[in-house]
Structure 1
Amino acid sequence: MTSREDEALARAAVTALTDQLALTPKPGLPDRSHPTHHTLRWSAKALAPGLAAMAAAARRTGEPTPGLRAELGAIGRCTEHSVALAGGGHRGALWTLGLLVAAAAMDPGEATATAKRIVAHPDKGAPRRPSRGSSVSAKYGAAGARGEARAGFPHIRRARAVLTDAHTHSRLNALLTIMSTLQDTELLYTAGPTGLRHVQAGARGVLEAGGTATATGSKALTALTTDLHNRGWSPRGSAGLLAGALFLEALPATPAPGKRR
């Protein structure tokens, strides 16, 4: 049974995801102007029961044990099915937010470190058939979603250092910070290593131009957005990590390392 605290964590995670979806313009990613925006917002709400159940499991267990890892995996697979019925999407965000919600239920001030301890255990109930992301990770030696979690979500920590406020420019700069270095397996699958480096360089170019709040940076962002749209390349891994950063920013008294409230 979930508590009010578990449901509040789930709501905060869904809000973080819908805030990420509404952010405009996001290069290569669905935003408020995209035809799928309303469907994605609707299916995001289907994450809430599963996320609350993950928080409840973590709160009940109290430690990042192998048993908790297995329970979170089982809940995640059921939640994926519910989301698919509601319109689909959000698989990467579910992985990130599920781990962070569970970790926050145990220790909100050390959520990324606790998530790292959770994924140190294998999910024995996971399908043996490798996912697309894990296959791409193995092919190119990329960390992928699991590697990011096992490292304690370094890109989320970097994004949070950029999130100085809730304004659009701050959030876009945080997204670009993730994109500039993340080995995004979705990009590796669709564009290969050369395409990944191209996107990383484009994101760095916007930041080096002063970020999205400057005229030069805004122009560079528009060019990058048009380029990725024309190529059909989507940095979906970065979007899920931004949602994770927004979720942690919404929690009380959980400042990022080196950052004051």
Structure 2
Amino acid sequence: MGKIAVFNTSEYLSTLAVNALVDEVCLTPKPGLVDEENNGSHHDLTLSMMKASARSLYPFFVEMAQAAKDKQPSQSLRETLGEIGRKAEEKMFAVTNGINTHKGAIWSLGLLIGSVASRRNSTSEEIAKRAGEIARFEDAFMIKRLTNGTRVKKKYGVNGAAGEAKAGFPHIIKFVLPMLRETKNINHSRLNALMAVMAHLDDTCILHRGGTLASEKVKEGARAVLRNGGVGTREGFQSLLKLNSLVEALFVSPGGSADLLAAGLFLYELEKRGIGGNSDGNTSLRL
């Protein structure tokens, strides 16, 4: 019998969150994204940088969980999580020399961690819904800046990361989690989950670089993978390789989809392990 993993809840949630980020970046092959084969459509990112960025967020996720413990969704909680999130972004930029690796993930995972810590023993759907309640409160201390994401939202009328969170992460609930629950092949289920999000999400990262034409081409490419049985079939995998080539030619990256996959991986691990962790001593930070 293995040793029982001993964590306080905050450390446990942070460990699962960091591991989800590492699992997402290591998933291979991913169209346009950094993975174990190449850097996708990113000349400024590497696998080692993405891993270092993910690990640097650990203490801030711990702090978020501690701040949200047994708290109800409120403006005060929203602002506290926002303050910690901005500190996490500063650390991320320090680690990556100013490159945005996980800003969207800090937002989504921070809200989900806060939701779990505020009320334990909840379903994934309840966690996502409560995270949406937190997100809908205003953060009076957040400085309004014109970012790539806000430009895209204004230009194309899409929701972006903020809208996804405020709606209770519908793409995670409708597409990511069902795919992750579907097959015992971990790599296939994760890639199919990514395809499902890419097939439906108005990804602001893709829209920023390629506009609506690129967005629709990528969506159709992801739908083709799923129509052909997913990445576990010969036809589905060939469709994935075609999508890889398409995304490379368009030089776009589905970064928003990747963030939602990581958040979904976090929730799925909670489903499997429960808030107290499993008993095999296997909940440790990824290297």
Aligned to 1:159: 176
Aligned to 2:50: 40
Aligned to 2:3: none
1:112 aligns with 2:128: yes
Q: For 2:66, which of 24, 35, 56 is the aligned residue?
A: 56
Deviation track 1:28-62 (CA, whole Å, cap 9, x = no partner) reads: 111112250011111110111111111111115x1
Q: CA deviation at 1:251?
A: 0.7
238-247 vs 163-172, which moves further = 163-172
Aligned to 1:129: 145
Q: CA deviation at 1:254?
A: 8.7
Amino acid at match of 2:80: E
SS of the residue corresponding to residue 69 of structure 2 reads helix
Shift of the 211–114 alpha-carbon distance from structure 1 to 2, 3 Å rule, reads: same
Q: CA deviation at 1:166?
A: 5.7
Aligned to 2:31: 27
Deviation track 1:42-88 (CA, whole Å, cap 9, x = no partner) reads: 1110111111111111115x111100111111110110010111124
Unmatched tracts of structure 2, length 5 or more: 1-6, 40-45, 275-287
In 2, Cα distance between the equivalents of 1:254 and 1:39?
Answer: 29
93-102 vs 162-171, which moves further = 162-171
In 1, Cα distance between the equivalents of 2:258 and 2:185?
Answer: 16
In 2, Cα distance between the equivalents of 1:13 and 1:71?
Answer: 19
1:75 aligns with 2:84: yes
In 1, Cα distance between the equivalents of 2:273 and 2:131?
Answer: 15
CA contact (8 A) 2:108 2:259 kept: yes
Amino acid at match of 1:122: E
Q: CA deviation at 1:92?
A: 1.1
Amino acid at match of 1:141: G
SS of the residue corresponding to residue 145 of structure 1 reads helix
Count of aligned residue pairs for this structure pair: 252
Aligned to 1:176: 195
Deviation track 1:83-117 (CA, whole Å, cap 9, x = no partner) reads: 11112411111111111111111234221011011
With the length of structure 1 as denominator, give the TM-score of the two structures. 0.93
Q: CA deviation at 1:131?
A: 2.2
Amino acid at match of 1:145: A
In 1, Cα distance between the equivalents of 2:133 and 2:32?
Answer: 32
Aligned to 2:10: 6
Give the RMSD, CA atoms, in angstroms: 1.6
SS of the residue corresponding to residue 129 of structure 1 reads coil
CA contact (8 A) 1:162 1:173 kept: yes
Aligned to 2:21: 17
With the length of structure 2 as denominator, give the TM-score of the two structures. 0.84
Unmatched tracts of structure 1, length 5 or more: 256-261
Q: CA deviation at 1:132?
A: 1.7
SS of the residue corresponding to residue 33 of structure 2 reads coil
Q: CA deviation at 1:140?
A: 0.8
In 2, Cα distance between the equivalents of 1:166 and 1:76?
Answer: 34
SS of the residue corresponding to residue 232 of structure 2 reads coil
In 2, Cα distance between the equivalents of 1:58 and 1:149?
Answer: 17
Q: Percent identity?
A: 40
CA contact (8 A) 1:248 1:254 kept: no
Aligned to 1:145: 161
